[in-house]
Every structure is written in structure tokens, then in C-alpha cells.
Structure 1
Amino acid sequence: MAVTQSGASPVTRQPVESCRRPSRRGAGARVVTAIAGVVLAAAAVYAQTFILPTEQRSSRVTANGLVGEVVETHGFSIKVSSVTAANAVDTTDFSDNVTKVGTSNLFLLVDISITTTRVPMRLSPGSNVVLLTEDGRRYQTTDKVDVSLTAFNRRYQPGFWSSGVLVFEVPKDAVPGARMIVAPPSEVIVDYSAPEAEIDLGLSGDAASRLIKQAEDYHSLVSKKR
């Protein structure tokens, strides 16, 4: 009889062991899951510390200056030599046909010279080259003038100064206090320290009034190019 009881002992223990083992594995899994959650949460917080705010990601390093001065950025240098106003300018097409174009506003013609610091550079029409008014309005260069007649048709090289003109079409009330902002075209990969130049065009008070009153009836761009 004792032999029968001792033989039954392992039979009665086996279910107890089989019930306890899953509970141990479940507890261990919960601990691992909890630790992994803490690690992932910490990693997410850590990663967020490297994400710059939107305004900082789109910011540029700005160099300020006045008309007639050489304004130096860490990528290029620019000088505005003169600002002219006109009621009409000319343009050209692919066949070199010259067309006179007018405006009910005012053409501002800004003569510039540029050299670069390290690598060649071009300017392009758009939000990187604008006229900024005293009240915060922004005007891009006019699309009435073919780019072949403007500073957009130049390739600026390190150590060499090249000149061109930027043509804006603006209302007369945009002239007083106007500034010009120039920057290289935006790249696919954002450069958080991309350079830009902001130039006071010297059009405050009487200077703006004189420029408007003395606006040329017609300013030829084609003859200057040739």
C-alpha cells in the first residue's frame, strides 16, 4: 500500500507545477514589457530634445547694412550701388525682340554687385529675394522682366565681383523705408545657418519722395546689357 501512495505522489505534484510555471513566465513578461515601455518613453523624450522649433529651423543668419556699403555674410558679400525708379522698362523674349512694359505702380531698379566666399552661387526669383516695406509687406521681383536682363542671370564666383539689377514692381507707398533682403536659393536639406543680407535702401523721408518724383518715364535694361 505504501508503494501505491509513493507512486501517486509525482502524479499529484505534476499539476501543481504545471499551474505555477505559466504564472512565473507571465510576471516576467510583464516586468520586461514595463521596462521596455520606460526605455521607449525615455528615448522619445531624449529624441525630442534634438527637434528644433519651426521658427528656428527656418531661421537664417542675417547681416545688415546700408546702400553703398559692402554687406558681408559668411557665404557671400553684396553691395547695392544705386536705386532707380521708373514708370516703364523693357524686356526681351527668346528671339531677342524688345518689348516696352509699363506699370500703374512703380518699378524699383536696384543695382547690385556680389561675390562669394567659398563656392559659386546663383540667385533665383522667389521668397529669397524680396523688397521689405516699413509695415512688413514683402514684394518679390517682377515677372514682367526676363531674367536674362537681371542679376538672376549671373553666376557669382569666389573672389570676383559681378554686377546686375533686381527689378521690383511696387506701389508708391511701399517706397519709404524700404529694405531689400537677399539670400541664396533654399536647398533640399535645410541649412540652419544659411546666410542672408538685409540692406536699408536709404529711402526714408525726403529721399523716398525725391525718388518717386524723379522716376524715369522709361528705363532701358536691354541697352545696359548690350
Structure 2
Amino acid sequence: MAVTQVESRTARRAARKKPPRRGVGRRIAAGAAGIVLAAAAVYAQQNFSMSFEQRTSYLTYKGRIGETVETKRFTVKALSVTAAHAVDTTDYSNKVSKVATSNLFLLIDVSATSAREPFKLSKLSPPVLLTADGRRYQPTDKVNDALTLFNKYIQPGFWSSGLLVFEVPEDAVPGADLVFIPPVSPLVSDNYAPEAQIDLGLSGAAAGRLISQAEDHHSLVSESR
């Protein structure tokens, strides 16, 4: 009788120590969670290890001044290019003043429409002037955005027009292109975001004429629309 009781107690202790078996559902859930975590790690490695420039690379559509350049997100055309030594700006009270430069202001008249959703141009990823030797100039901060295309909503079914104003040295003019870039998020990767690269027709002779005929003062207030 004593032997039977000892064996019974030993069997109960062994049963208590034996780990419970996992159900099939728990094993499947654990496996799915592992897959999700692995996928998240791969995504993070691919995206957050890349530079901002890599994560915001663009699919480039090309055209020439006067032509319509159509992308999956927007359609744009550059209508004309003007050069000036001074332009208008306004302050918070809409007081008009003149700003000058020792370089050149290039004023590009642009029209654009959206394919699906309205958007505004962004200072974080603005259109740029791309020179023949690869330099990139952002729109000047000397001009109030209210007088430029930055103040317009670009909407589906409607063409919005306005100026983009760049301050550049004369040697940036020959062969320059306008690269029109829609707003992008630094947190979202889109390797197929579109941009439009527009040849402004500034060959050597055309660039020379534009520079030599630059206006002393170009009014932006009378042209803002």
C-alpha cells in the first residue's frame, strides 16, 4: 500500500511538471506573427536605410517648352521664360516692394492640372531649375509665394497658371531645364512618383538673347492671377 501511494504521488508530480501542449491555433498565430515581423524588418531595412533622395526617386517624363507633358498624377506645360534684374514681392500686409539681384531672376510661366486629386506645390520638394552641368536651383525665397504658382491649388479638370521664380547666375541659363515635382512625403516610399523635365529651349544663342534682354524690373503683382 505504501508503494502504491508513493508511485501515485510521483505520477502526479510528473504530470504537473509536464508542459502543456500548444494548440494548433496558437502555433499558427505564432507563425503568422513571425512572418509579419520578418516582413516589417525587411521593409524597414529597404526603406529607412535609404537616403531621402533614394526614397523619393522619380519616374521622369520629358518634354519641351510649349509642349504638354502628361504623367500619371499631373499634366504640366511651361509656356514662357523671362529674365529680369528685379521683381516685386509683398509682405504680410500686402505692401508691394521691389527686390533686386546681382544675378538673374528667371520667371517661368507654368500651367498644370491634376489627374485625380488636388494638390499644392511643396517647399519640401519644390520644382527646380536643372542646369546643363547638374546644378539644381530651388525657387527664390525673395518672392512671396502668394505671387507665384505655390499659391494655387492644382485640381483635376482645371488648369492652374502661375510663375515660378528662380534666382540664378548667368552661367546657369544655357541648357537649363525645369523639373516639375509634385509634393512628396519624406515618410512614404514611392519609387514611381512622377516628375516632368521640361527643356526650356535655352540653347547657347537663345540663352544669350534672354540674358542680354533681361528686364530691369518685372512686375509680379500685375501678373498674379
Shared fold (TM-score greater than 0.5)? yes
- Distance (Å, rounded) in 2 between the aligned partners of 1:66 and 1:122: 23
Preserved contact between residue 84 and residue 211 of structure 1 (Cα < 8 Å)? yes
Distance 1:186 1:43, change over 3 A: closer
- Bigger drift between 59-68 and 171-180 goes to 59-68
Which position in structure 2 is the counterpart of 1:57?
55
Q: Is the 8 A contact 2:67 2:78 kept in 1?
A: yes
Q: How does 1:209-224 map to 2 (within 5 A)?
A: 209-224=208-223
User: Separation in 2 of the partners of 1:128 and 1:181?
Assistant: 9
Aligned partner of 2:71: which letter? T
Task: Tell me: CA distance 1:56–1:97, structure 2 relative to 1, closer, same or farther (3 Å).
Answer: closer
In the alignment, what sits opposite 1:187?
A: 185
Question: How much does 1:94 deviate?
Answer: 2.0
Distance in structure 2 (CA, Å) of the matches to 1:115 and 1:46:
37
Question: What is the match of residue 202 of structure 2?
Answer: 203
After superposition, the Cα gap between the structure-2 partners of 1:43 and 1:187, relative to the gap in structure 1 and judged at 3 Å, is closer
Q: Report if the CA contact (8 A) 2:83-2:214 is conserved.
A: yes
Change (3 A) 1:49 1:194: same
CA gap 1:50/1:106 in 2 versus in 1, 3 angstroms: same
Q: Cα distance, 1:217 vs. partner?
A: 0.7
Structure 2 letter corresponding to 1:138: R
Deviation, 1:154, is 0.2
Shift of 1:129: 1.5
Call closer, same or farther: CA 1:216–1:44 in 2, change over 3 Å: same
Q: CA deviation at 1:46?
A: 6.9
Which residue matches 2:133? Answer: 135
State the superposition RMSD in angstroms.
3.3
Q: Which residue of 1 aligns with 2:118?
A: 120
Name the CA distance, whole Å, in 2 between partners of 1:109 and 1:126.
Answer: 20
Is 1:102 paired with 2:100? yes
Q: 1:120 offset after TM fit, Å?
A: 0.5
> 1 CA distance for matches of 2:210 and 2:159?
27
* Offset at residue 187 of structure 1 (A): 2.0
User: Number of residues paired by the alignment?
Assistant: 216
Residues in 2 aligned to 1:100 and 1:50: alpha-carbon distance in whole angstroms: 50
Partner of 2:16: none
Could you tell me which amino acid in structure 1 is paired with residue 111 of structure 2?
S
State the partner residue of 1:163. 161
Name structure 1 gaps, 5 residues minimum.
Answer: 1-41
* Contact 1:84–1:110, Cα closer than 8 Å, also in 2: yes
Cα offset, 1:126, TM superposition: 4.1
CA contact (8 A) 1:126 1:141 kept: no
SS in 2 for 1:222: coil
- Aligned partners of 1:85 and 1:108 also within 8 Å: yes
CA separation in 2, counterparts of 1:46 and 1:100? 56
TM-score by length of 1: 0.77
Question: What's the secondary structure of 1:223's corresponding residue?
Answer: coil
Identity %: 60
Normalising by structure 2, report the TM-score: 0.77
CA distance in 1 between counterparts of 2:196 and 2:175 reads: 16
Q: CA deviation at 1:82?
A: 0.2
